Every structure is written in C-alpha cells, then in structure tokens.
Amino acid sequence: MKKISMIFLMFICLIMLIFTGCEEVGITPGIENASIGNQENSNNNNSSNDPSINDTESNNYQDSSTEPINETNTVNPSTDDSGTDGTGDPVANEPANPGTNDPVDPGTNDSMDPDAIRPQNWATGTGTIDNPWANDCIQKAYDAAPVGSTIFLQEGYYQLSSTVSFDKEIHFIGEGINKTIIKTSPQKGFQINANQVTLKRFTVDGNLQPDEGGICINASQIDYLLLEDIEVKNSGYYGINLNDPNNCTLRNIQAHDNYRHGVHAGANEAGRNKNNLYENIYCYNNGVNGFDERGSLDSENNTYTNLQCHDNSIFGIVIAHLNGGNLSNSDSHSNSNIGIVVSDVNSFDIDNCSSTSNVEHGIEINTSNNINLTNSIVKNNCSGIIIDFSSSISIASCESYDDRVTPLQKWGVELTEISGTISVSNCNLSPNKEGEIYDPAGVAVRTDMEKTLAKF
C-alpha cells in the first residue's frame, strides 16, 4: 500500500514539474503561429513597395468565371488582356518580367484579333519593296470580309492592280505609317462609298498615278468615316479627297508631294459637309494647296485643329463656303502665296494660329462676316492681315509685324473694300514697312488700351 502511495506521489510531482518548466521557458500555445503570421505580413508590406512587384500585380486579369484568380498569377506580357496567345488559346500564367514590359506598338493590337481577315491568304509575293504582296490580295480580302469586320495588313509592301472600293462598313488596319505601305495602280487607290468605314495606320503611295489622274483616298457622300495615322503621297491629283462628308474625323494625317492638294474636302450637295473634325493634319510640298476645304455649296460647323501646312506651291490653308466652326492651334509658313485664306465664311473663329514667311499675305479674309481672329501671330510675309469685302471682323491680342533687319511686310492690317466695322484691339502691329493699319475708308475701330501679345 505504501508502495502504491509512493508511486502516486511521484506521479503528482512529475506533473507539477512539467507545468513549472513550461512557464519558465515561456512557450504559450498559439504564440509561435502568430509570430510567423506577423513575419509574413511584414514581408508582404515590404514587397508592396518594390516597383517590380507592383508592375507584376498590374498584369493580373480576371477571367469570365465568378471564382477569384490567385493574385500571384500574372499574364505573360506577350499576350493581350484576355490572357490568350492571340489565337484564343489560353497561355500559362507565368510571372511577368518587369524588365521586358516595353510599350507595344498600337499597330500590332489588331493582329491579335483571330477573326481579322489577312490579304496574305490570297497574295503572291513576299511583301518586300521589290516583291510586294499582289494578286489583288487586298480586294479579295475585302470581298471575303463580313460587314463590320477587320482587315489586318501586316507590315510590308502591297501592290494594287486597280481601285479598291469600300461599299460596306469595314475596318482596314495596318501596322503604322512607313510600315504598312500600299502602292496604288495608275488609278485611284481607295474609293469609299459606305458609312462607318475605318482606315488606320498605313501609307498610300500614288507614285504610279499620272499627273492630274489619280487620288490616294477618295470618299463620296459618306458619314462617320475615320481616317487616322495615315500618310498619302505622290498622288496624281489629291492625296485625300472628301466629297460631301458628314460627321467624319481625319486625325494624324501626313499629306505631301501630291500633284494638287494634300487634303481636299467640300460640299456639292445641300446639307452635306457638316460637323467634321480635322485634327493633326500635316500638309507640305504639294503642287497647289496644302489643306483645301471648299466646295460649290456652303458647309457647316467643321472644326480644324493643329493644321501644319508649309512649303506648298500656292496656299497653305484654305477654308471657304462655311457657316460656323473654328480653326485653332495651326501654323502655315513658307508657302509660295498666302498662308491662310478664309473666303465666304460666316461666324468663324481663328485662334492661336500663326502664318509666317509666306511669299504673299499671311492671312486673307475675304467676302466673310462675323470672324474673330485672336491670339495669333502673322509676321515676315509680303503683307500681314488682309481684309477684303468683309464686315464685323474682330482682331484681338494678335501680332502682325516684320522682325527682319529690313522689314518687307507692308502693313500689320490692310483693309480694302470694307462694308462694315472692323475692330482691332490689344495688338502689336509694328514694325512693318509701311505702317500698322492701312484703312483708307476709315472703318477700323482700334482700342489699344493695353497690348496683350499672342503667345503659344
């Protein structure tokens, strides 16, 4: 019995020793796991400040399922946002290398469309300058394309054998100016007869067109046409010609070395040539005018911004037969006649423009009414601002002068055959060869309370 009591007592002591030892060591259940969790949180916080980690996280995408995707998975930067390899097949979620995330040429985005029609399916040739893709491959691609689809023209040279006509909505996309290069036949390059057509990112070279015998891009009575990032050159007549366009946009256009005008548009039917936007248009070395907007009938509410026209054989910018609209942030220089012509125009604003070093006038406003010319620079021309047969013209905060050693520009403002009030305010009109204002009829009202010079 004593032996049993002794064993029981020893057992009680052992239990007490175990619990006393734990308290001395300081190990409390749950603390170890908590410390590991804190360490992980600390690491995550530190890594979030690493730009390479943030770049990787920015490539995360969400698929069409409702289950969240693990945030550690990323899309390979060589794929599009859908997480496919461009053919619709999924790719492995490999971590992105932040050192290889170079900007992608936007011209290549359309190549990822698995439904895009490619002229190479019908082409002969290899796409080089000496052996361009041919065999009417662009026409055949258009014929095969459903309404509203995309024709993708990869980088290289294409040779047309005749005019390609667009009679349905289509999206015609290249890989960039001087990358996708289309050489026309002796005929017109493209004829657009349908609404909502898009042409983007390519060059059209009309070098084979005879003088007075071809146009790179021609459009007739169309709505919602988009021409963007396009170069037209060496045409036999106009680089781009728009006849009766409505609600169309031309943006980032280079038009040069064409036989007549770089870009031409106008109305020949009542109610047409309305609400069009011309933005970032570069016209130079053309045989007549750079940008020429005029038809036989009045147009309405067209907007022109950042027209850059120089070294054209006659006029730089011509805007005629228009009611409402504005020309802004534009420059016309070194043309062989007049820099900017505004003719038969009503209720129109010219703002933040310059016209310099043209052989004749800097700006001519004729047969027009309610024109506001503001914050513009006209200098070093033969004459500065010429106003003929016009009324209700306001010239404010402009500069018209000649800063050459011997001034040759005759007048800052020259008024002839004026039928109404001309207001000149806050302008710098000297030095000039003859003087500030030529006003034989005494119709100008000048209010130079302070001179606010044009600035860009």
Residue-wise pLDDT tens digits, 292-349: 999 888 899 999 999 999 999 999 999 999 999 999 999 999 999 999 999 999 999 9
Res 64 pLDDT > 90: no
Q: Between the ranges 50-64, 178-192, 432-446, where is the mean pLDDT highest?
A: 178-192
Q: What's the whole-number mean pLDDT along residues 374-385?
A: 98
Q: pLDDT band for position 53 (50/70/90)?
A: very low
Q: Is 16 exposed, middle or buried (0-12, 13-18, 19+ CB in 10 A)?
A: exposed
Q: Is the pLDDT of residue 51 over 50?
A: no
Give CA–CA dist 421/311, Å, rounded: 34
**Tens of pLDDT, residues 220-240:** 999 999 999 999 999 999 999
Q: What is the pLDDT of residue 452?
A: 44
C-alpha distances in Å from residue 438, one per residue of 13, 158, 357, 383: 121, 56, 20, 11
Q: Which residue has the higher pLDDT, 65 or 262?
A: 262
Average pLDDT over residues 48-71: 28
What the block records as the tokens of 422 is 């001309």
Domain with CATH 2.160.20.10 in the chain: 109-447
Burial code of 20-52, b = ≥16 C-beta within 10 A, e = fewer? eeeeeeeeeeeeeeeeeeeeeeeeeeeeeeeee
H or E segment and range at residue 23: helix 2-25
pLDDT tens profile 268-295:
999 999 999 999 999 999 999 999 999 8
Quote the pLDDT of residue 297: 82
* Phi, psi for 229 (deg, rounded to 5): 55, 60
Peptide bond just before 431 cis, omega within 30 deg = yes
CB 194, CB 219: distance < 8 Å: no
pLDDT the model gives residue 306: 98
Q: What is the pTM of this model?
A: 0.75
For the cut 70, the answer to whether the pLDDT of residue 390 exceeds it is yes
Q: Give the pLDDT band (50/70/90) at residue 112.
A: low
Give yes or no for residue 198 having a pLDDT over 80. yes
CATH number of 109-447: 2.160.20.10
Residue 144 pLDDT class (50, 70, 90 cuts): very high
**Chain segment 23-33, per-residue pLDDT in tens:** 333 323 332 23
pLDDT at 17 over 60: no
Give the pLDDT score at 453: 44
**Low-confidence winner among 8-12, 106-110, 292-296, 345-349 (lowest mean pLDDT):** 106-110
Report whether pLDDT(123) > 50: yes
pLDDT higher than 80, residue 86: no
Residue 207 confidence (pLDDT) above 60: yes
